[in-house]
Amino acid sequence: MISIRCKMVVQSELESLGFHCLMIDLGEVVISEELSSKQLEQLRAVLLASGLEILDDKKAILNERIKNALLEIVYGKEELSKINISDAISAKLQTDYNHLASLFSELNEITIEQYYIKSKIERVKELLLNENFTLTEISYRLNYCSVAHLSTQFKRITGLTPTFYRKLRQNKYLPMDNV
């Protein structure tokens, strides 16, 4: 689960099936009842109809926890300065980083670092659409050493410069007066 909306859907579906939620967090649910295999399949079907799935493989669960931890870092309110990603992930998941990195690469066919960079670029895209942020502010907020570094990485991933992306997206929707 990545969003609050997902958490709300899961809680609603669990309650409609008569289960009592003790805790719902990103990618994790604790209920007070023990589920029979029939109830588990019923829950699996209901969640699948909402576009969600139950992960019961330990590797898949850990993989999702790694992704969620990275997204929490990228989308957190604080600037990313001075954050060592490997230390942050390892501490958050209380697992050796080498094990996490190996598992992540095995399941996703990209490294944690590549996923982190792609996540940062998605965040840059969002911030570019908000005209209140300059490239310098975005660069600082996402811990790029310079605007040039941000621009180079952005172009390598998207094929566009940040400035061109911003202009392209702003011009995508024209007010009816301009049609």
More confident residue, 2 or 71: 71
Over residues 45-83, the pLDDT tens digits come to 888 888 887 777 788 889 988 998 898 888 886 655 567
Over residues 87-115, the pLDDT tens digits come to 999 999 999 999 999 999 999 999 999 99
Contact by Cβ (8 Å): 85, 74: no
Q: Is the pLDDT of residue 1 over 50?
A: no
Q: To which H or E segment does residue 49 belong?
A: helix 37-49
What is the model's pLDDT at position 86?
92
Helix extents (H) in 75-146: 85-93, 97-108, 112-129, 135-141
Place of tokens 């939620």: 21
* Domain ranges for the chain: 4-54, 59-170
Give the pTM.
0.72
Q: Is the pLDDT of residue 156 over 90?
A: yes
Contact by Cβ (8 Å): 120, 75: no
More confident residue, 153 or 33: 153
- Between CA 58 and CA 16 the distance in angstroms is 27
Four-point Cα dihedral 123, 129, 135, 136, nearest 10: -80
The CATH number given to 59-170 is 1.10.10.60
Rg of the chain's alpha carbons, rounded to an integer? 20
What is the model's pLDDT at position 176?
47
What is the model's pLDDT at position 87?
92
Query: 34: phi > 0 → left, psi -120 to 50 → alpha, else beta; which?
Result: beta
What is the model's pLDDT at position 6?
77
Q: Is 101 exposed, middle or buried (0-12, 13-18, 19+ CB in 10 A)?
A: middle
Mean pLDDT of the chain: 85
Q: Is the pLDDT of residue 3 over 70?
A: no
